[in-house]
Structure 1
Amino acid sequence: MSQDLAVAVRAESALGEGPTWDATTGRLIWVDILGSRVHTYAPATGRRTVMATEQHVGAAKPCADGGLVVNLRDGIGRYDAEGAFSWLLRDPVPGRRGNDAAVAPDGALWAGTMRYDEAPGGGNLVRLAPDGAAHEALSGVTVSNGIGWSPDGSLMYYVDSPTRRIDVCPTGADLATHRRPFVTVEPGAGYPDGLTVDADGCVWVALWDGARLHRYTPRGDLDRVVPLPVARPTACAFGGADLRDLYITTARTGAPHAHPSAGSLLVLRNAGHGLPGTAFGGCQYPAPAC
């Protein structure tokens, strides 16, 4: 590893994903999807926690009133600050599970799905508003993945991994008709997975089977490549008190000769300057009937 790249938390996650910095608690949150675990790590103290979830968990994000909102196999749920679970949106589909998710600047949760067998068109993307209203923003996607917003909130970025594209769409516009390619990752460089946007408006993306991160300028120019020792990085997010360290989740699943760091949480020190996150604002309403 380079001098600035290190293992933050040694682990053997089958499918580590979705790092998120929770400024309120000073900790990083991420998941092991296939291990049905939510992990946390506080860099200032070194304290770690691990929580088992009801089902495979694609993402976990902080709630504005405490606890976590989680994108599970059968829908979106919430663990309150005491660990009690409740459903917010239950939508079970055989053979499908929750995948990456992100909270928009307005406090809404955008949560994607995919089929376990990655069958084309088997996933979707849902927006769950703070008032509990749910809207399917996209259907017919395959591996719904990275989601992020420009610093001024005017643009939304989105990845459906097999397309090899990061798409961009004006915030509030219909994704199905208004998204357009922002960048296309060249064959051989891996598949775009989870992403984050920094304070300069640059888009950082983890490349599954690419053993690297790419950073793209707001114009879509590739201006930085970060080689990694693991073949399957899955996502990245800025964290730490000053949001300058880039945390990277990784996977061991499907890698026959996995590097010893595969499945661990990596950190790239002083990588840039991240944007403050937004907590999910919709944990007060009762679960809708399904």
Structure 2
Amino acid sequence: MKAEVAVREDAELGEGPTWDTAGGRLLWVDILGRRVHTYEPASGRRSVLAVDQHIGAVKPRAGGGVVANLRDGIGLYSADGAFSWLRHDPVPGRRGNDAAVAPDGSLWAGTMRYDEEAGGGNLFRTAPDGATTTLLDKVTISNGVGWSPDHTLTYYIDTPTRRVDVLRVEDGHVVERREFATVEEGAGFPDGLAVDAEGCVWVALWDGGALRRYTPRGTLDRIIPLPVVRPTACAFGGPGLRDLYVTTARTGLREPEPDAGSLLVLPGIGEGLHATPFAG
């Protein structure tokens, strides 16, 4: 299957695609470009919201608007664009990165150092009222988070480890972390992920120019080459959640790539799971 360009864009660091079921649209961000993008496949309509700091991810809110994992903490945007802080926690040299909404409606949001210092990041859980607990500390580049269809397994990526891990969480705390799959040297680094209706885990490979699908047992069963070397994350969307959208980056490329920074799509490649909106 060949990827198509869904939205031609020149994002520096496109990231965090999420399907907004209520709005029938895809949300994603340009972290370094400080932009929130939306795209409605049915109509082709697009919108772009400029923000005043680097933004790692946005996710739909149950009452409308979005929750954002920003450089300085977790922010809320209402449907009319009004902004407020849910958790303001600026740390010099650190920013928000990928995030996901858990089945219980809480936000799991990662951080990383700008200099990518080892152990300089965290994975936090933020409740709808803003109460925050640390799930993992001393991670480096906190990236993809997702849940199995029955919600019993949590998948997590700290990119430099080259692993996709499974977390076991009890009473809001990670009590076990084990290896699920490993990306070998030379194949790129695991970045964002998406879980499909069969429980398979799709992983975007930064500097690998491909997507990989792993079975629920962690066996690699599919590799999809992409026309960019730096895909960042993926999410199912569109009618029946059967199209897989892929964000991409052009930052740091050694050679120009025509499709780098654009939003790609693999039509009809599988079936995704409905994303839970943030309950706050």
Return the match for 2:86 from 85, 88, 113: 88
**Whole-Å separation in 1 of the counterparts to 2:134 and 2:271:** 32
Q: Does 1:276 align with 2:260?
A: no
- Counterpart among 252, 256, 259 of residue 257 in structure 2: 259
Tell me, in whole angstroms, the C-alpha distance in 2 between the residues paired with 1:176 and 1:257. 41
Match for residue 64 of structure 2?
Answer: 66
Q: Which of 163, 179, 182 matches 1:181?
A: 179
Q: Give the match's secondary structure for 2:43.
A: coil
Partner of residue 22, structure 1: 20
Shift of the alpha carbon at 1:86?
0.4
**Mapping of residues 221-232 of structure 1, within 5 Å:** 221-232=219-230
Tell me the C-alpha RMSD between the 2 structures. 1.1
Separation in structure 2 between the aligned mates of residue 275 and residue 238 of structure 1, nearest angstrom: 7
State the shift of 1:169 in Å.
Answer: 1.6
SS at match of 1:162: helix
Aligned mates of 2:214, 2:256 — CA distance in 1? 28
Please, which runs of 5 or more residues in structure 2 have no aligned partner?
none
The one of 16, 37, 40 aligned to 1:39: 37
Unpaired segments of 5 or more residues in structure 1?
Answer: 283-290
Q: In the TM superposition, what is the alpha-carbon distance from 1:258 to its structure 2 partner?
A: 2.9
Question: Aligned residue for 1:240?
Answer: 238
Q: How many residues align?
A: 280
Whether 2:145 is the aligned partner of 1:147: answer yes
TM-superposed CA distance for 1:241, in Å, is: 2.1
Cα displacement (A) at 1:133: 1.6
What is the TM-score normalised by the length of structure 1? 0.95
The verdict on how the C-alpha distance between 1:187 and 1:174 changes in structure 2, with shifts beyond 3 A counting, is farther
Provide runs of 4+ in structure 1 moved above 3 Å. 171-177
Identity, in percent, stands at 68
For residue 247 of structure 2, what is the aligned residue in structure 1?
A: 249
Report the alpha carbon displacement of residue 36 of structure 1 after superposing the two structures with TM: 0.4
Equivalent runs, 1:113-132 vs 2, <5 Å: 113-132=111-130
**Given that residues 217 and 223 in structure 1 are in contact (C-alpha distance below 8 angstroms), is that contact kept between their aligned partners in structure 2?**
yes
**In the alignment, is the contact (CA less than 8 A) between 1:37 and 1:51 conserved in 2?**
yes
The superposition leaves residues 160-179 of structure 1 with CA deviations (integer Å, 9 ceiling, x where unpaired) of 00000000022436765401
Deviations 1:243-288 (A, max 9, x none): 0000000000000213100000000011100001100001xxxxxx
Instruction: Provide the TM-score with structure 2 as the length reference.
Output: 0.98
Q: C-alpha separation between the residues in 1 aligned to 2:81 and 2:166?
A: 36
CA shift at 1:53, angstroms? 1.2
Q: Secondary structure at the match of 1:272?
A: coil
Provide, for residues 2-50 of structure 1, a one-character-per-residue CA deviation record: whole Å limited to 9, x for no partner: 5x42000000100000000001000000000000000000000000000
Q: Structure 2 counterpart of 1:165, which letter?
A: R
Q: Secondary structure at the match of 1:242?
A: helix
1:104-149 superposed Cα distances (whole Å, 9 cap, x missing partner): 1110000000011101011101000123221011111000000000
Counterpart position of 2:5 = 7
